[in-house]
Chain A
Amino acid sequence: MALLLADLRAFANGLRRRDGHGGLFARLLPPLLLGTMYWLLGSMMLGHPELLIALQSRGDSQTILMAAALSPCPIVAGWIAFAHMHRQLFEAPELGIWLTAPHWRGRAALQLFIRASCTALLWACALAAPFVMQLLFASRAQPFAYAMAPLGIAIAVVPSLAITLGIQIALMRCAAGRSARVALSLLSAMASFGFPVFLLTEVFTGAPARAMALIDSNRVDTGPSPLVAAATQMLASAAQDLVDLAALKSGLVLLVGSCALFLLIARLHPIAVQNHLLAYRPRRLHGGRWPLQPAAAIRHKEFAQTLQQPGALWQMLIVAVMTGLLASQNLVVHDILAGSILPQWLRQCAAMAILWSIAITMLLYTHMGRLSIWDGQQWPLYLQSPISAGTLLRGKLQTIALLLIWPIVVPAFAGFFWFSANPTTVLIFCGFAIAGTMAALAAIISIGTWPWLIRQETDGRITQGSRGFVGSLALMIVFHLAIAPGYLAYHVLGTTTASQRPDCEKLLPYALIGALLIGLLQFALSTKIALGNYRRLLAPR
C-alpha cells in the first residue's frame, strides 16, 4: 500500500508543478488525439452503407463489430509489456529500494504490474472505447451496458498484460543468459516498432476500407480472437440489453486468474532481476581506424552504434521481412498491380513505390531520433566540442542517407522477385525512390531538429520534452505532404481517359527529372532550417 501511495503522491506532486503539467500533457495528449481519431473512424465506419446492410442482414454482426472495437486491447498490452516494461521490469531505478525493503518478495513486480496496467488501460481506452461507445449508442443500449464497457476493456487488456509480463520474468528466472536477453530485446524492438505501424495502418487505412474488411471477416465467419472473446460476448450481449452471465463469468475468471498467475510468478522477480544483471557479458570489440574529420567521425559513430546495438539491426530486418510479406502476399499493392489502365511497368513502379513509402515510414521516427534525441545524454559533448552545426548535420545526414538506401533496396528486390518487374523498371523505381528519399530526409531533418520539440536541461542534456507525440505526427504529415506530388501525378494519370492521357514513356524522363528537382529543393530548404535549429541547440542554455 505504501508503494502505491508513493506513486500517487509523486503523481499529485507533479500536478502541482509547471513541469509536471507538461509531463501530464505529454502523457495524455497522444491517447486523446488517437481517441479522437478512432472516434471519427468509428463513426465513419458505422455510417458506411455496405456495413449497415451487413449489420442488418447478419445476427452476429454485433459480435464481429465489438471484437473489432476491442481488437487494439491485446496489441496495447503487448506493446506496453515488451516495449515499455521490458527494461522497467529488470532495470527500474526504484528496484534498489523495492527489492531491499522488507516487503513480500513479489511486491516490486506487482508495483510494476500496477503501473503497466494503468498505462495500458489508458491507451486501451483511447483506442477501443470510442468505437465501443458508438456501437452501444447505435444499438440504443441501456445505461448498464455503458457501465460494463470499462470492465470489458479491462478484461481485454489486463490478462494479456499479466501473461506477457509473467513470461518475461519467468524467462529471466529460469533461462537467463545471453540468448534470453537477445530474445527479449528482439521482442522489445518488434513491439516498439510494430505498435506505431499498427496505428499507422489502422488510422491511414480509412473507414471504407476498414468497413469492407469487417464485412469480409463477417463473410468468412472467423469469430473474435480468444484474447478478446469473453469481453466481446459480454459487451455484445449488453448492447442488446442482455447480461451474458457465462461470458461475464469467463471474463472475470480470466481477469482474476491471470492476475493470480502473475502474483505466483512475481515471486520469481528478485532472482530474475539478479539473473538479468548477471547475464550481461561485456564483449571486446575492435573498431578499426577512426576517421580524423569530425563529420566522418560522427558518421562512423552512428554506424558503430547501429552495428553494436542488437535492437538497431533487428529493426532493419523487421522492415525487410514486413515489406517482403506485403509483396509476397500481394496485400497492399493488389489493386495497383491488377489495374489495366496504365502500362504494366508504371503499375509495377507504383507498387514498389507504395512498399517503399511503407518501409520508409517504419524508419522515419528512428532517424528523427538519431538527429538529436538519441544523443540527448551525450549532447553536452557536442555543446562543449568545437564542432560546428554544419559539420554535425553533415555527419548525421550522411548516416541517415546511407541507411535510407535500405528501404529502396528491399522494395526493389521485392518488385523484381514478386512483381516480375524487369531491371529497367526497377531502375526507374530507384530513380523515383531517390527523389522520395530526399523528400523524406527533408521531413526528418526539419522536424527532428525542431527546438520546440526538445527540452534543454541545465547540464547540457536534451530530452524529448512533452511534445514528442506532436513531433511524430508532424513528421508523418510533412513526409506525406513532401511526397504528395508523386501520389497526385499517379492519381491524375490513372483517372484521365485514354485519349487525354499522355504517353507515359515519353513523359518519364521529365517526370523523373521533375521529381528529383522537387526532392532536391525540399532537401535544400530543410537543410537550411535544420542548420538554424542545430545552431540554437548547440548554443549555451
Chain B
Amino acid sequence: MAAAIEVRGLGRSYDSRWAVRGLELTIAPGELYGFLGPNGAGKTTTIRILAGLLRPTEGTVRIDGLDHATAPHALKSILGFVPDTPPLYDYLTGRQYIDLVASLWRISRAERTERSERLLSALGIDDVADELCKGYSHGTRKKIHLAAMLTTAPKVLLLDEPSTGLDPRSVRALKDLMLEEARRGTTILFSTHVLETAEQICHRVGILHQGQLRAEGTVAQLRSLHGDDSLEAAFLRLTATDDQTSNGAVTR
C-alpha cells in the first residue's frame, strides 16, 4: 500500500539557518503519528511544508501519491490543517465559518450539516456556534477550526499543537475524535509537547531535534532504546545534546 505521507530529504532554510534538514518520514494510511521535539526543533516548519504553506528548500513531499508542485488542487482537497493560531474570521459566527470552509472544499449541504453537527456536539461547542468568533476563547477558536477541517473529511489531517489552550475535558474529546478519525482511515500527523497525549493515542511517534529526526517508532520502541522507563526519559535523552546519536533500528 502506498504511504499516506512520504517525505524524502526534506530541508527548509530561513536565510542561512536550516529549520529542517534531511528529513525522511513515511506514514501509512490511517496511522496516527505524533511529532515530538523541543521548541524550535522544526515541527511547525515541517507541518507547514506538508500543508502547502511553505515551499521546501530541498527534498520532496508526497501525500497520497500527490505533491504540491504538480497537483496542488487535488492535494489540497484531501488535506486538512489545524494551525496553532486558527484563521477564524472575527465577524463570522462559528457555524458560518464552518459553512465557509465546507464551501471552499465543495462539501454537499447534507454532508456538511451531518458532519458539522456531530463534530460541534462531540467537541462541546454546539451552544456557542451561533456567536461571533470575535468573542471566542483560544480553545474555542481551535475547536471551531478543527470542526471545520473535519467537516471536509480530509484523508490526511495535520495538527500543530492541537491541545494547547484546551481544558482537560476538551483534550479528552480531542483525543477521542482523533482516534475515531484514525479508525475511519484518516492519516493524522500532529505535533505536541504533551508526551502523555502521544503515549496514549499515537501509533508511532517521531522525535525531532534541531531540524532532524532523532528517533521514531512506537512508544514502547522508543522507551526500550536505552532502557528508559518512560517516553519522557527517552525524549530528554534524545534531545539533550546537539551531537547525541543513538544506535538501533529505529534511530536516525
Binding site for B on A (CB under 8 A): 280, 282-287, 289-294, 296-297, 300-301, 304-305, 308-309, 377-388, 458-461, 539-541
Indicate whether A287 sits within 8 Å of B96 (C-beta atoms), given known contacts A301-B89, A378-B87: yes
30 contacts between A and B (CB under 8 A): A282-B132, A287-B92, A287-B96, A289-B109, A290-B99, A292-B103, A292-B106, A292-B109, A293-B103, A294-B104, A297-B99, A297-B103, A301-B96, A304-B92, A378-B87, A380-B83, A381-B104, A384-B52, A384-B53, A385-B76, A385-B104, A386-B77, A386-B105, A458-B53, A458-B54, A459-B44, A459-B83, A459-B85, A461-B87, A541-B54
Residue of A nearest to B93 (CB): A285
A383 vs B72: C-alpha distance in the bound complex, in angstroms? Answer: 10
Binding site for A on B (CB under 8 A): 14, 44-45, 48-49, 51-55, 68, 72-74, 76-77, 79-81, 83, 85, 87-93, 95-96, 99-106, 108-109, 128, 130-132, 134-135
Asked whether B132 lies within 8 Å of A292 as measured between CB atoms, the reply is: no
A327 vs B103: C-alpha distance in the bound complex, in angstroms? Answer: 43
Output the residue of A280, A291, A305, A381 with the most chain B CB within 10 A: A381
| A185 CB, nearest partner CB in chain B, Å | 12
Asked whether A284 lies within 8 Å of B130 as measured between CB atoms, the reply is: yes
| A25 CB, nearest partner CB in chain B, Å | 20
Asked whether A378 lies within 8 Å of B132 as measured between CB atoms, the reply is: no
Contacts of A382 in B (CB 8 A): 104
Interface of A is mostly: loop
Contacts of A379 in B (CB 8 A): 87
Asked whether B105 lies within 8 Å of A385 as measured between CB atoms, the reply is: yes
Contacts of A301 in B (CB 8 A): 89, 92, 96, 100
A461 vs B48: C-alpha distance in the bound complex, in angstroms? Answer: 12
Which single member of A282, A291, A305 contacts B131 (CB below 8 Å)? A282
Which single member of A287, A387, A539 contacts B95 (CB below 8 Å)? A287
Indicate whether A540 sits within 8 Å of B52 (C-beta atoms), given known contacts A301-B96, A301-B100, A308-B92: yes
| B146 CB, nearest partner CB in chain A, Å | 13
Asked whether A388 lies within 8 Å of B14 as measured between CB atoms, the reply is: no
Asked whether A459 lies within 8 Å of B76 as measured between CB atoms, the reply is: no
Asked whether B135 lies within 8 Å of A541 as measured between CB atoms, the reply is: no
| A457 CB, nearest partner CB in chain B, Å | 9
A-B interface, 7 closest residue pairs, ranked by CB to CB distance from nearest: A297-B103, A290-B99, A460-B53, A282-B131, A386-B76, A385-B104, A378-B87
A324 vs B132: C-alpha distance in the bound complex, in angstroms? Answer: 33
Output the residue of B85, B91, B109, B135 with the most chain A CB within 10 A: B91
A476 vs B92: C-alpha distance in the bound complex, in angstroms? Answer: 31
Output the residue of A304, A378, A384 with the most chain B CB within 10 A: A384
A292 vs B88: C-alpha distance in the bound complex, in angstroms? Answer: 19
| B87 CB, nearest partner CB in chain A, Å | 4
A287 vs B103: C-alpha distance in the bound complex, in angstroms? Answer: 14
A430 vs B117: C-alpha distance in the bound complex, in angstroms? Answer: 46
Contacts of B131 in A (CB 8 A): 282-285
Contacts of B76 in A (CB 8 A): 384-386
A284 vs B95: C-alpha distance in the bound complex, in angstroms? Answer: 11
Asked whether A460 lies within 8 Å of B132 as measured between CB atoms, the reply is: no
Asked whether A458 lies within 8 Å of B96 as measured between CB atoms, the reply is: no
A385 vs B96: C-alpha distance in the bound complex, in angstroms? Answer: 16
Asked whether A297 lies within 8 Å of B132 as measured between CB atoms, the reply is: no
A282 vs B85: C-alpha distance in the bound complex, in angstroms? Answer: 21
Asked whether B135 lies within 8 Å of A460 as measured between CB atoms, the reply is: no
A297 vs B92: C-alpha distance in the bound complex, in angstroms? Answer: 12
A450 vs B109: C-alpha distance in the bound complex, in angstroms? Answer: 35
A458 vs B13: C-alpha distance in the bound complex, in angstroms? Answer: 11
Asked whether B132 lies within 8 Å of A458 as measured between CB atoms, the reply is: no
Indicate whether A458 sits within 8 Å of B14 (C-beta atoms), given known contacts A285-B130, A290-B99, A540-B53: yes
Asked whether A541 lies within 8 Å of B53 as measured between CB atoms, the reply is: yes
Which single member of B83, B91, B102, B128 contacts A308 (CB below 8 Å)? B91
Contacts of B99 in A (CB 8 A): 287, 290, 297
Contacts A297-B100, A458-B48 known; list 16 others, CB within 8 Å: A294-B106, A297-B103, A297-B104, A304-B92, A305-B91, A308-B91, A308-B132, A309-B90, A377-B87, A380-B53, A380-B87, A386-B74, A386-B105, A458-B14, A459-B48, A540-B52
A300 vs B102: C-alpha distance in the bound complex, in angstroms? Answer: 13
Contacts of A290 in B (CB 8 A): 96, 99-100, 102-103
| B14 CB, nearest partner CB in chain A, Å | 7
Which single member of B68, B74, B104 contacts A540 (CB below 8 Å)? B68
Asked whether B87 lies within 8 Å of A386 as measured between CB atoms, the reply is: no
| B102 CB, nearest partner CB in chain A, Å | 8
| B68 CB, nearest partner CB in chain A, Å | 6
A382 vs B99: C-alpha distance in the bound complex, in angstroms? Answer: 14
Contacts of B103 in A (CB 8 A): 290-294, 296-297
Residue of B nearest to A458 (CB): B54
